Amino acid sequence: ELGWGTVPLMALVSFTLFGMEGIGREIENPFGKDANDLHMDDFCRDLKREFQYLVNLQNTVPGAHA
């Protein structure tokens, strides 16, 4: 029914699906050492620094102990 309109429509659908497949492959395993992986060592170091700050803050504020 669409005639030649089917060709660009199918090209758009194919491009979209292949793009989704590529994105899925990139984010499939986020905890490795590849360029697109999450830098968990940096996240853990920052989290540790924040926790240490909060513990030190609690120890320096008068009346902070329950």
pLDDT at 64: 60
Residue located via tokens 């504020």:
61
pLDDT at 34: 82
Residue located via tokens 């030649």:
4
First to last CA, the chain: 75
pLDDT at 35: 82
Mean pLDDT (the chain, rounded)? 88
pTM of the complete model: 0.53
Q: What is the pLDDT of residues 32-59, one digit of tens each?
A: 888 888 888 999 999 999 999 998 887 7
